[in-house]
Amino acid sequence: MPKQFFCAREELETSRVALLGIPFDATSSFRPGSRFAPDHIRLYSEGIESYSPYQHKDLAECAFTDAGNIDLTISNFSVLREAVHTQVIHDLSSEKKVLALGGEHLISLPVAAAYAESYPDLKLIHLDAHADLREDYLGEKYSHATVIRRISEIIGTENIYQFGIRSGTREEFAFGDQATHFYPFSLNPAIIQTVVEQLQGSPVYLTLDLDVLDPAYFPGTGTPEPGGVSFQELLQALLLFEQLKLVGADIVELCPAYDRSDVSTITAIKLVRELLLMLDE
């Protein structure tokens, strides 16, 4: 049994949030290794305080369980897809929200697909350095570089809100401009507040690619992109999302092998804490 995230509860019945590790990184193109992230995050989770001074809540009072990791082989996305779908559908049917821990960004596809079955009017908020809107990547349809395009085919491009994008092909930027709600380069609080107001009442799934952070703040990732936001800016954006009906989320692309000072792991842990507290409403 894996070491659990600190403060996780043993009682499954009364929990409203399930933390789920998805240790998959088979399509990573630049620097793989994110499949080790869920266990690293758990191992060091006691390194932070359980109390969030931002939300005035304490993880020790949060009704969440740690569901462990999806058991999977490393290179077969169709196996992964099936296993994740089954698990998420099961959690949703027990009225548990899921916070998925990648792994690479492709893991968001099966999670979001399962959510779309339960919430036909699902909206997706996407924080990332990369557009992930390619039709295919190196001939592959299912890749970390195509994941938002694939999700858009399920829930519709008009339900996708992208923030912080600063890298992609000319085609991806054009597609984003035309098809999705596309707010590149920064996490502008005024724009986010406007979007939050538009999304009132809708079920929202949040996918957070940690490389939206500048590599100064988050070096431990597979495809670092200079020019990103600070931790403060990301945190400010997340806290604005508290006003939403957040039904699920994921945090992806921590790559422990490149986290030379453990700071990226600690950063991911703090964001897990904040999202667990936001999901437990």
Between residue 44 and residue 63, which ones bind its own copies under the rule CB under 8 A?
A: 47-49, 51, 53, 56, 58
Between residue 144 and residue 183, which ones bind its own copies under the rule CB under 8 A?
A: 165-170, 173
Instruction: Give Cβ neighbours of residue 170 (< 8 Å, ≥ 6 apart).
Output: none
Q: How far is the CB of 263 from its own copies (least distance, A)?
A: 4
Number of residues located near its own copies, criterion CB under 8 A:
65
Phi, psi of 278, rounded to the nearest 5 degrees: -70, -35
d(CA 62, CA 68): 17
d(CA 154, CA 230): 32
- Which tokens sit at 71? 């058991």
Q: Is the dihedral of CA 114, 115, 118, 120 positive or negative?
A: negative
Q: Give the one residue of 108, 146, 157, 223 binding its own copies; rule: CB under 8 A.
A: 223
* Annotated binding residue 66: no
Under rule CB under 8 A, residue 214 binds its own copies: yes
Q: Give the one residue of 270, 272, 273, 277 binding its own copies; rule: CB under 8 A.
A: 270
Under rule CB under 8 A, residue 189 binds its own copies: no
Q: Which amino acid is at 56?
A: H
Other C-beta atoms closer than 10 Å to the C-beta of 230 total 14
Q: How far is the CB of 230 from its own copies (least distance, A)?
A: 7
Q: Give the one residue of 121, 198, 216, 245 binding its own copies; rule: CB under 8 A.
A: 216
Other C-beta atoms closer than 10 Å to the C-beta of 257 total 13
Phi, psi of 136, rounded to the nearest 5 degrees: -150, 170
Q: How far is the CB of 12 from its own copies (least distance, A)?
A: 14
Our CB check for its own copies shows the closer of 12 and 257 to be 257
Instruction: Give Cβ neighbours of residue 90 (< 8 Å, ≥ 6 apart).
Output: none
Residues found near its own copies in the complex (CB under 8 A):
1-4, 25-33, 39-40, 42-43, 47-49, 51, 53, 56, 58, 73-76, 79, 138-140, 165-170, 173, 184-185, 214-217, 219-220, 223-227, 230-232, 235, 257-258, 260-263, 266-267, 270
